[in-house]
Amino acid sequence: MEIGIIGSGNIGSTLAGYLTALGHQVLISNSRGPESLGEIADKTGATAVTTEVAAGAKDLIIIAIPNKAIVNLPKEILSASKAIIIDAGNYYPSRDGHIADIEGGLTDSEWVSKVIGHPVIKAFNNIVAPSLASKAVPPGSANRIALSVAGDDQQQKQAVIRLIDQIGFDAIDGGALSESWRQQPGTPAYCQDLDKDTLKSALQKADITKRDESRSQADEMARPYL
């Protein structure tokens, strides 16, 4: 596949390495421009490009940037895309500022979809970067870490689930995009390195009445690192 990755932080660069190793053509970008991506390109085998070029990738686009930067994306290109678009981000108010639509009830990814004018699949957001980088294992391995994939297009979700399996993790269907709050910061399913059965249970344990409280607690815990 031709895959565009928007964001060259820990998640974006780690995924670039995995995906090029699987034989995909990976185009990686960041807000500073391709000239800043030489080291990452050399390490991962990805091609450094502008955000506009990454947003025009034919088959898959992964958005792995802070929510505050979503509004600066090339929305005209993304809204017209025929590719699967994955939102791998999380909303942290202390970093991203207060986003009224999210605090009014939209999930993080519903808001991203609204801003870019294109449906998204929520994935790669509920694993910490060091685990993503170091804990990929072959299918059937004991205690394989699972990731939750949420979205409204069943075919696209299954494509992402298969890709995650190829990378080295189990993946489960996390439901519709409106249910993706269950894998957002502060929930039992968030960044816990759970196996498939335990992740399914954790998703169900999430309490929507504690959604704002959970977000605030997660934001406070993450504040020193953001």
Please tell me the predicted confidence (pLDDT) of residue 54.
98
Domain span at residue 192? 66-226
Please tell me the predicted confidence (pLDDT) of residue 225.
82
Asked whether residue 170 is domain-assigned, the answer is yes
Asked whether residue 194 is domain-assigned, the answer is yes
79 class by beta-carbon count within 10 Å (0-12 exposed, 13-18 middle, 19+ buried): middle
C-alpha 114/C-alpha 120 separation (Å) is 9
Please tell me the predicted confidence (pLDDT) of residue 224.
87
Asked whether residue 145 is domain-assigned, the answer is yes
Tens of pLDDT, residue by residue over 69-89, are 999 999 999 999 999 999 999
Asked whether residue 143 is domain-assigned, the answer is yes
Structure tokens at 77: 């290109």
Please tell me the predicted confidence (pLDDT) of residue 93.
96
Please tell me the predicted confidence (pLDDT) of residue 44.
97
Asked whether residue 39 is domain-assigned, the answer is no
Residues of the chain with pLDDT under 50: none
Please tell me the predicted confidence (pLDDT) of residue 226.
81
pTM, 2 dp: 0.97
